[in-house]
Chains A and B, each alone.
Chain A
Amino acid sequence: MRRNEYPQEILQSLEDYSIDIKDFIPGHGGGAKLLLNFNKIAGVDQVEGIILKGREIPNGIVADIIIKEGTKHEEPVHLCFGVNKETGVQEIFPRIIAEDNTSVKVQAHCSFPKANGLIHKMFGHFYIGKNCNFNYSETHYHGENSGALVAPVGYMYIGENSVFENNFNLTQGTPGKVKIMIDIYAMQNSIIRSNIKAYGKSKKDSIRIRDSVFLEGENARSVIKMKAVARNGGEVLMYGVTEGNAPHCNGHVECSEIVLGKGSICRARPFIRAIDPTSSISHEASLGRFPQKWLDELMAKGLTEDEATEILIEAMLKE
């Protein structure tokens, strides 16, 4: 596949993320890839040990990604779900299976540079086997119209002794209306790290994220970190859920949200539950402005309060 066979606006929006397009287009670079142009599969690249299959359905695709037992790849698997239209419905059904003893990174790029009424839905199922190291990153670019409705749902099973890292970034462009729900089930000795960042920039932006970890196996551990900024009337609501349902499991939920400008709203609703007396679950949340001490430290370097705030937002939402 050549670069000019894929909508330039989508590629440009990815390049704006500092993503190296050369390694991203099928036929280039070393990793597996699946590119979607609205509801059509625009290109697929497979590598040894990773089966990648897509099937088109009326409003989107079903994508099966199977990491075969023992496969270890440094090069990430790239998934690009691009829509170069203002409106329409894109539905993605990814089914990801990482067999035992695998190590892989999956990077999903969702680019909707012209969205103005566009609907993007995802129903993802992840099965991560034993002794795996699985890293999933999803980054969104929604243009500047706040015109997308994004509703991804993910169910993730993480097997014994596996490490699962989830990074979800919604900080570039303007998000629009976003409803995200992630449920992660952690088995024995597994480690979960889930980082979510969102930036609501105007009153057209409304973001609701529920990130849940269910510690079902003995000695399973998790940390959920949710960070958000709401400014100029933007709204962010974050639910961080952790349940300790097994002996000696350990979970923590951390939520930091910054509110800037009139009419902006940030809300955090941590929900933690422990049903085993040997488990340990905790949460902390802070909402409002940056600590005055942080601002003072930067202002003592000659920055104004506004400049210091921008630096801190950039740092907070950095991928």
Chain B
Amino acid sequence: MNILLELKNVTIPTLDQKCVIVNNVSFEVREGSIHAVIGPNGSGKSTLAYTIMGLNSYRISQGKIYFDGIDITNMSLTERAKLGITLAWQEPARIDGLTVFKYITLGIKDKSNLQEKVKEALRTVNLEPERYYNRIIDETLSGGERKRVELAAAIAMRPKLIILDEPDSGLDMIVIEDFLNIFNKIKALNMTILLITHREDIGMVADYGTLLWRGDAILTDEFPIVMVKYCAKAGLKEFCKRALFKNGGKCFDDEYIDRIFREEGLL
């Protein structure tokens, strides 16, 4: 698989430049994969996501970001979106007066057959087009519905890379299961996903992962390997042995888990 996104020694300071949120981080995201960035709250995951997207308030002080072989470090948010990067937000905005239809069409470059394209995007996220077309993206949509519309808008753009920022936040378990299926549908449409999450059950759909710990990228590897390291860093050995890597995920024997925990000085 080709490398779609590459971060090289990226450091992101706070706006006042007094603290470092993400420190000298490097990793690669392969085209067509689901790549999870995991880590506990405050480890810099969302900061990293917004920086890759190019939000004005998130600027790197050092390092380079390459997308599809192009140096995008100094590109604006709009330029990056036009290149094929988009972001589905953790808490998408509620905008009075803007219909679901209009919202989804905003990012579609080819404006022919808009209705069909919107319908297809809504079906991909398991929303009935006829019921949602003319709804307004305000408080009348539930949290789960709004997140699905956000995903539909991202999918309709047909980007090369979708950054999903904590897509599970505020959702119940039944809905999360459905979201995992949607991620696989997106992957089947040849889009790459950068999945920002702190939950192992969400991350289990990922092919690869990067563990972010207090602003440092500790490990990038196949996702289960990264997850064991995450549990070891968090001191969750029993949880790791008991709860992880079931349901078709990659399993590890106790000896492997013990070794990783030993490296962390936890045995």
Contacts and interface: CB of A to CB of B under 8 A. Distances in A.
A317 B106 contact: no
Interface string B75-99: 0011001100011010011011110
Contacts of A305: 78
Interface of B: 53, 55-57, 77-78, 81-82, 86-87, 89, 92-93, 95-98, 102, 106-107, 109, 153, 157
B93 A302 contact: no
Contacts of A301: 81, 86, 106-107, 153, 157
Given A296-B55, A297-B92, A302 B78 contact: yes
B99 to A, nearest CB: 8
A314 B96 CA distance: 10
Interface string A284-319: 000000011110111111111100000110111110
Given A301-B86, A301-B153, A302-B78, 20 more contacts: A293-B89, A294-B93, A296-B77, A297-B93, A299-B78, A299-B81, A300-B77, A301-B106, A301-B107, A302-B82, A302-B107, A302-B109, A303-B78, A311-B98, A311-B102, A312-B95, A312-B98, A314-B97, A315-B97, A316-B97
A203 to B, nearest CB: 26
Contacts of A304: 78
B81 A302 contact: yes
Given A302-B107, A303-B78, A304-B78, A315 B53 contact: no
Interface of A: 291-294, 296-305, 311-312, 314-318
A311 to B, nearest CB: 7
A316 B93 CA distance: 14
Contacts of A293: 89, 93
B107 A315 contact: no
Contact of B87 (A291, A300, A312): A300
Contact of A302 (B56, B98, B157): B157
Nearest to A302: B81
Given A311-B106, A315-B98, A300 B81 contact: yes
